[in-house]
């Protein structure tokens, strides 16, 4: 027996993405937007001189959201044409307006222009989510700007940094993404009314070869749809290069999310950082003690899928012959929706993480204590030279003691005892009183705390200022699953 569990549902809609983003790609939004575009076209054509009445426009407005999906599906099955199916259904609902619905337009008038409206709205939603995430990470970076932690290069312990400074590296990637996505939104234009191959021939006929009226029609429809500009030239479609740019910016965001969440997963394995973990959450079905970084893993999974979608958009644009081919249609239905839904889901999940990252400072201190003695060797040498020691002699002493200590760590699993070895060697007597200062982790972090403050004030705050209203309304993000 057929029920709601007997057909496929995308996990992006059933598990991950928000209701707001899902609605933008819903049939209701799509087909009611088609109707709004037919109303806009009629309004503009009437204003410029075609014989269209207020009654016809009001009749269309009264039915704009009342889409009979079953009737449209039946029409499409008969006509094999989605746009004409909806034209026929809309015309039956609006008999007065039937003669002027879709007047002079081609399918891409509603199809492409709706896609551009969806893209613009989707980019705005992504930008709001991104601003909230950046704000959360800003607070985290400030709180932990002075907390020393091991830096890693080649995934091997390196000089110290701070927990907050590392967070600014994540934020910097997201700032670059914000700029790219905002540029996509601001550069986005409307297709407008361009006709079957982009020449506006049908509209030129409608307006008696009056080129100025056709230009005015394009401008008026564009403005009524909420855009300031339309593309000056198109084929049958707007250039799929636009999709490449938009999906590329979202895919690049996926790279940033994957990088940050990979860092979190590695640090979680060290027990330095942890994701928020609910009291009833189960980390493993077999190992009750585990606290797996499941949210970060989800972000990486979603981001990886998002990254792959860029090649779909690029290959679709590359194969659009002449004025257009229809092999873009099925691909774009999948690629555009999944790019936005994946970005939305990953941002929501990462925002949830950013609300409550746990920093285990004692664990971090233990990691530092295991490695810092080796890193302090140069400082020890410098202090000995200040006390009159020979740099080369001191270097050799430290080299020998370091290798002995390293052997204890690597061969026997013991603690790093380099400091104790230095204390026992009479050669280092002149600096023994300064060892605690030499080994203070905060003397190894350079300008990390100052860099955090300068970066946030100079680079991040100006961006957050642009989203002040959205940030005021920002709510805590909880994950249903």
In tens, the pLDDT along 243-265 reads 999 999 999 999 999 999 999 99
How many angstroms separate the CA atoms of 195 and 188, rounded? 20
**CATH architecture group of domain 108-206+232-280+288-360+460-472:** Up-down Bundle (1.20)
H runs (alpha helix) in 355-389: 361-375, 377-386
How many angstroms separate the CA atoms of 177 and 212, rounded? 40
Q: Are 182 and 246 in contact (CB under 8 A)?
A: no
Residues of the chain with CATH 1.10.40: 377-438
How many angstroms separate the CA atoms of 43 and 354, rounded? 47
Q: Are 291 and 280 in contact (CB under 8 A)?
A: no
> What confidence score (pLDDT) does residue 481 get?
61
Of residues 367, 368, 374, the one with CA closest to residue 418? 374
Question: pLDDT 10s digit of each residue in the chain, 481 long?
Answer: 456 677 788 888 888 889 999 999 999 999 999 999 999 999 999 999 999 999 999 999 999 999 999 999 998 888 888 899 999 999 999 999 999 999 999 999 999 999 999 999 999 999 999 999 999 999 999 999 999 999 999 988 888 999 999 999 999 999 999 999 999 999 999 999 998 999 999 999 999 999 999 999 999 999 999 999 999 999 989 999 999 999 999 999 999 999 999 999 999 999 999 998 664 455 544 544 457 889 999 999 999 999 999 999 999 999 999 988 988 888 999 999 999 999 999 999 999 999 999 999 999 999 988 888 777 777 888 888 988 888 899 899 888 988 888 888 888 888 888 888 888 888 888 888 888 888 888 888 999 999 999 999 999 999 999 999 888 877 777 776 6
Q: Are 181 and 253 in contact (CB under 8 A)?
A: yes
The set of residues, in sequence order, having a beta carbon less than 8 Å from that of 395 and lying 6+ positions away, is: 381
How many angstroms separate the CA atoms of 65 and 27, rounded? 11
> What confidence score (pLDDT) does residue 176 get?
97
How many angstroms from the chain centroid is the CA of residue 122? 11
H runs (alpha helix) in 196-328: 201-206, 211-224, 241-269, 294-318
Residue 477's SS3 state is coil
- Domain at 377-438: CATH code: 1.10.40
- Number of CB atoms found within 10 A of residue 412's CB: 8
Q: Are 39 and 52 in contact (CB under 8 A)?
A: no
Residue 343's SS3 state is helix
Q: Using the 8-state DSSP alphabet, how is residue 197 labeled?
A: S
How many angstroms separate the CA atoms of 449 and 467, rounded? 26
Catalytically annotated residues: 154, 284
- Domain at 18-103: CATH code: 1.10.275.10
Q: Are 190 and 135 in contact (CB under 8 A)?
A: no
> What confidence score (pLDDT) does residue 278 get?
61
How many angstroms separate the CA atoms of 275 and 479, rounded? 13
Q: Using the 8-state DSSP alphabet, how is residue 445 labeled?
A: S
Residues of the chain with CATH 1.20.200.10: 108-206+232-280+288-360+460-472
């Amino acid at each position: 027996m057929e029920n709601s569990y007997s057909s496929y549902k995308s996990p992006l809609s059933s598990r991950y993405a928000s209701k707001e983003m899902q609605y933008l790609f819903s049939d209701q939004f799509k087909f009611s937007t088609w109707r709004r575009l037919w109303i806009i076209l009629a309004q503009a054509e009437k204003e410029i001189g075609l014989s269209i009445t207020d009654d016809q426009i009001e009749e269309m407005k009264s039915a704009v959201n009342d889409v009979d999906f079953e009737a449209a599906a039946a029409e499409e099955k008969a006509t094999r044409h989605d746009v004409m199916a909806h034209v026929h259904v809309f015309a039956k609902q609006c008999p007065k307006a039937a003669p002027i619905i879709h007047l002079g337009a081609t399918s891409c008038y509603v199809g492409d222009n709706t896609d551009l409206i969806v893209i613009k709205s989707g980019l705005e939603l992504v930008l709001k989510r991104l601003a909230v995430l950046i704000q959360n990470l800003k607070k985290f970076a400030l709180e932990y700007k002075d907390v020393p932690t091991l830096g890693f290069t080649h995934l091997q312990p390196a000089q110290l940094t701070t927990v907050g400074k590392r967070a600014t590296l994540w934020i910097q990637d997201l700032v670059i993404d914000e700029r790219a996505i905002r540029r996509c939104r601001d550069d986005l234009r409307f297709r407008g009314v361009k006709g079957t191959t982009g020449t506006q021939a049908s509209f030129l006929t409608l307006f008696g070869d009056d080129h100025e009226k056709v230009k005015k029609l394009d401008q008026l429809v564009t403005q009524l749809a909420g855009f300031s500009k339309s593309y000056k030239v198109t084929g049958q479609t707007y250039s799929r290069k636009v999709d490449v740019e938009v999906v590329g910016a979202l895919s690049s965001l996926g790279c940033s999310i994957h990088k940050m969440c990979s860092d979190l997963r590695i640090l979680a394995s060290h027990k330095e950082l942890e994701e928020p973990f609910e009291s009833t959450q189960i980390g493993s079905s077999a190992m009750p003690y585990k606290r797996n970084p499941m949210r970060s893993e989800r972000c990486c999974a979603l981001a990886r899928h998002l990254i792959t979608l860029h090649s779909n958009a690029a290959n679709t644009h590359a194969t659009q012959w002449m004025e257009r081919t229809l092999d873009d249609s099925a691909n774009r239905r999948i690629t555009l929706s999944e790019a936005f839904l994946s970005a939305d889901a990953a941002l929501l999940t990462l925002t949830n993480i950013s609300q409550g990252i746990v920093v285990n400072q004692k664990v971090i201190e233990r990691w530092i204590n295991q490695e810092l003695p080796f890193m302090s060797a140069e400082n020890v040498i410098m202090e000995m030279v200040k006390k009159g020691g020979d740099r080369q002699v001191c270097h050799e002493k430290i080299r020998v003691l370091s290798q002995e200590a390293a052997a204890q760590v690597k061969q026997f699993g013991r603690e790093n005892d380099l400091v104790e070895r230095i204390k026992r060697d009479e050669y280092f007597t002149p600096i023994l009183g300064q060892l605690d200062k030499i080994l203070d982790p905060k003397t190894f972090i350079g300008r990390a705390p100052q860099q955090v403050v300068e970066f946030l004030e100079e680079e991040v705050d100006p961006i957050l200022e642009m989203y002040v209203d959205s940030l005021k309304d920002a709510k805590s993000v909880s994950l249903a699953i």
